[in-house]
Amino acid sequence: MITRLLSLAERLIPTVGARLGAGKVQDADVYVQQVLVARPDLLQTLESDLDACTDNLISQILAGDQFVSEEFERVALIVVGSYYMNPVVRSTINYQGQVPLGFDPMEYVSWIEEGLLDQVISRGKRYREHSL
3-state secondary structure the chain: CHHHHHHHHHHHCCCECCECCCCCCCCHHHHHHHHHHHCHHHHHHHHHHHHHCCHHHHHHHHCCCCCCCHHHHHHHHHHHHHHHHCHHHHHHCCCCCCCCCCCCHHHHHHHHHCCCCHHHHHCCCCCCCCCC
**Is residue 101 domain-resident?**
no
**Is residue 110 domain-resident?**
no
**Is residue 121 domain-resident?**
no
Higher pLDDT, 71 or 118: 71
Higher pLDDT, 93 or 104: 93
pLDDT single digits (tens) 27-79: 999 999 999 999 999 999 999 999 999 988 888 888 887 678 899 999 999 99
**Is residue 71 domain-resident?**
yes
How many structural domains does the chain have?
1
The predicted structure's pLDDT at residue 131: 65
**Is residue 104 domain-resident?**
no
Range of the domain at 17: 2-92
**Is residue 132 domain-resident?**
no
Mean pLDDT within 91-108: 81
**High-pLDDT (> 70) share of the chain, %:** 94
The predicted structure's pLDDT at residue 83: 94
What is the model's pTM?
0.70
Q: Does residue 125 surpass a pLDDT of 70?
A: yes
**Is residue 66 domain-resident?**
yes
pLDDT single digits (tens) 15-31: 888 888 998 888 999 99
Q: How confident is the model at residue 132 (pLDDT cuts 50, 70, 90)?
A: low
**Is residue 103 domain-resident?**
no
